[in-house]
Amino acid sequence: PLEAATAATAAGSAGSHSDAGSAAARPWSLWASVGRLSQRGWLVVVPLLVGVAVPFVIPLLDFEYIEGLQTLLPRGDPLTETFLEVQDHFGVSQIFPNTIVVLPPNPGDVTSRGWLNASCHAMKFMASNVTEVMRAHGREAGDASLQNFAMKASDFSGLMIQGGICTSLLISLLENPLAKKYGDFLVNGFSNEDRTATKVRVKTTLDPFSTVGQKWIAAVRDAMAASEVWVSDPSFPGDTTVLGEMHLTGMAQEQMDGAADTFASLPRVIGATLLIVMAVLGSAFRSAVVPLRAVLCLSWMLLVTFGLGVLVYQHGVLQSLGIRPFLTSPDPPAHHAMYWMTPCIAFSILVGLGLDYDVFFMESVVEHFDAGYSSREAVVEALRHTGTIICVAGVIMFLAFGSLLIGASPMINQLAFHLCVGVLIDCFVTTKVIIPCAMAMLDLLPGNANFWPRKPPPALTEPTVEPLPPLRRLGSLRNSLSDNARRSAMSPHGVRSMQSPA
């Protein structure tokens, strides 16, 4: 009984897991030491982390992206070289044609002389309008090639115009029964079977996938919108011809529209993703602070990762090394940028990986917190148990993603670069430095602010055995021994009665 009472008293006095006692009883751990140093020096580390993020956030304000097929093709491959030779000799418009689809208001308009004549003059107006807009862009950008840009009427090839000449008279002559066979052949080559739509090929010397090419696409679309109702003579406003709807289509336009719609909706996607993350983490940890802290730490990693990606692939900070995975896009130097799909794909993967390591680490922190450790010491003990595992898992993922850097496709290289950088930052910086600093800051608030409103189990909030004063303890032990001896004398089983509970 004396030994049992002494052990119970010692357990009661040690029930609070003091920071100094627990630290002395544990073996040395590198990651636990890093976490403890980060907590102690958070006043220095937090401003340092903010200062580190600033040089990476600034380039994000200048972020640009590109479309096209060349970024997807492997560098130096014979197929790529053949594709580039064909494109150089025949022009981008021959490989990726631009087409205007015209939907006239009436099915018979595609063979109507009046409609054909009005649409032909509208095409000539569009050529003149686009020329003025592109030259204005050239003057603003100081680009001499754009200042001399000219779009000609001969760049249009359709049922209403050929070689810059209106064909309405020719089409009406081909309606003659003797030439109807040839007329139908010509009309069917530019119209659908029901003759409710017609197409016009548009040539250009510009690369429609480039930044300048996208300005050209926007200028053509603006000119089309201004020409859907054609006024033959401005002095007679009533003399108008409704040309119908016009749409510019092609691979460049499809990628341009897809990229624009994707980045326009990206803020909503990011917001929805982070809200779902907060809801899931809040439910799992029964805390409102844990998900907020997780989102802030995750945001730091994402800003640094994508900022570094812009510096490498848009500004070419590693271009001088000559290492193929770090080279900028194969476009002209003025148009270096990331492929538009790269940040969209990398964002989703990095959010998943970042939260995976965060949840694994915080689960250990919460276990130690519920066991009676303070929030500071719970972080240190969690690093002692999970720090090495998280680092090993991160290195494995780094090697897996790093294998994609060996590939020859610029887009795959860009994606692999972002994933490798994000994984390393999350495993070696976020969980080891940023989270301990953030929790040390929150620990200054009253209560258990790091886990609010979560509280440790009630049974562990106070010691279960209170230590007795020395004199009372000896007196209670003497009375207990006397009672046991008295019962032993009265019991027929002797020793067995001494071992039974009182």
Q: How far apart are the C-alpha atoms of 198 and 126, rounded to whole Å?
A: 17
**Could you check whether the bond before residue 470 is cis, i.e. omega within 30 degrees of 0?**
no
Does this model's pTM top 0.85? no
pLDDT at 14: 40
Alpha carbon separation from 179 to 110, 116, 162, 343 (Å, rounded): 17, 19, 19, 57
Burial class (CB in 10 A: 0-12, 13-18, 19+), 24: exposed
Would you state the structure tokens that stand for residue 307, as one six-digit string?
């900022």
Q: How far apart are the C-alpha atoms of 406 and 428, rounded to whole Å?
A: 24
Q: Model confidence over 320-344: pLDDT tens digits?
A: 888 888 888 665 554 578 899 999 9
Would you state the structure tokens that stand for residue 484, as one six-digit string?
């046991």
Closest CA to 50 of 437, 439, 442: 437
**Residue ranges of the chain whose pLDDT lies below 50:** 1-24, 235-237, 334, 460-465, 468, 471, 473-474, 477, 490-502
pLDDT at 479: 60
Question: What does DSSP assign to residue 26?
Answer: S
Q: How far apart are the C-alpha atoms of 286 and 380, rounded to whole Å?
A: 21
Residue-by-residue DSSP string for 432-459: IIIHHHHHHHHTTSSSSGGGTT----GG
pLDDT at 111: 82
Residues 6+ apart with CB under 8 A from 478: none
Residue 339 β-bridge partners = 66
Residue 238 β-bridge partners = none
- The Cβ-side half-sphere exposure at 381, using a 13 Å CA radius, reads 26
pLDDT at 130: 95
Burial class (CB in 10 A: 0-12, 13-18, 19+), 193: exposed
Q: At which residue do the structure tokens 């003149």 appear?
A: 128
Q: How far apart are the C-alpha atoms of 196 and 182, rounded to whole Å?
A: 20
pLDDT at 487: 54
Q: At which residue do the structure tokens 């011809």 appear?
A: 241
